[in-house]
Amino acid sequence: MIRKAKISDATQIASIYNYYVTNTIVTFEMVPILDRIMADKINKTIKKYPWLVFEENGQILGYAYATDWKPRGAYKYTVESTIYLRNNQNGKGIGSKLYAELISQLRTLKLHSVIGGIGQPNEASIALHEKFGFQKIAHFKEVGFKFDKWVDVAYWQLII
């Protein structure tokens, strides 16, 4: 079931995210996020944009949300989307369901553009974004350094 995130989901959401922090180049965070920091992030986000979770039998298996792209006023119609799945939940359609609902809700907010940044390589995330019509718009070489290697970031955009 997909539902709105609640502050009380912060522990499970942080757990999902922190797997990627400590094991992958998907996020450039270097230190796991504390539950209270995640709760604050959820609280600030849901005041303006959707933050959705996919829950099954009381366990959150994934989440997706949108945030401001940039703080300047002219960017107010553009958001950045984010999605993470629990490590063992890839390939089950959860990401597609979450992204479909997120994009649907973003359309109701009179937004114009959704941008997804993807640490490279990440074929699963690229496939998900392109499935929903996102097109690659930029590729920045070696902008992050994690696990003793330089990492590229590419951006995909969807005009909604």
Q: What confidence score (pLDDT) does residue 34 get?
A: 97
Return the SS3 of 143: strand
- pTM assigned to the model: 0.94
- Within 13 Å and on the Cβ side, how many CA atoms surround 141? 0
How many other C-beta atoms lie within 10 A of the C-beta of residue 8?
9
What pLDDT was estimated at residue 157? 98
Query: Which pLDDT value is given to residue 51?
Result: 98
pLDDT digit string, tens, across residues 45-82: 999 999 999 999 999 999 999 999 998 999 999 999 99
pLDDT beyond 90 at 92: no
Q: What percent of the chain has pLDDT over 70?
A: 100
Domains of the chain by residue range? 2-159
What average pLDDT does range 97-122 have in this prediction? 96
At 90 the pLDDT is 78
Residue/partner pairs of 25-28 with CB below 8 Å, 24 or more apart:
25/119, 25/120, 25/144, 25/146, 25/147, 25/149, 25/151, 26/84, 26/119, 26/122, 26/125, 27/119, 28/119, 28/144, 28/146, 28/151
Report DSSP state, residue 158. E
- What is the mean predicted confidence (pLDDT) over 80-103? 93
State the average pLDDT for the chain: 96
Distance between CA 26 and CA 77 in Å, rounded? 25
Confidence class for position 128, pLDDT limits 50, 70, 90: very high
Find, among 81, 47, 84, 45, the residue nearest to 66 by Cα: 81
Give the pLDDT confidence score for residue 26 in this predicted structure: 93
Which of the following CATH numbers is that of domain 2-159: 3.40.630.30, 3.30.420.40, 3.30.300.280, 2.40.10.120?
3.40.630.30
pLDDT score of 91 more than 80: no
Please state, for a pLDDT cut of 90, what percent of the chain lies above it: 95
30 pLDDT band, cuts 50/70/90, is: very high
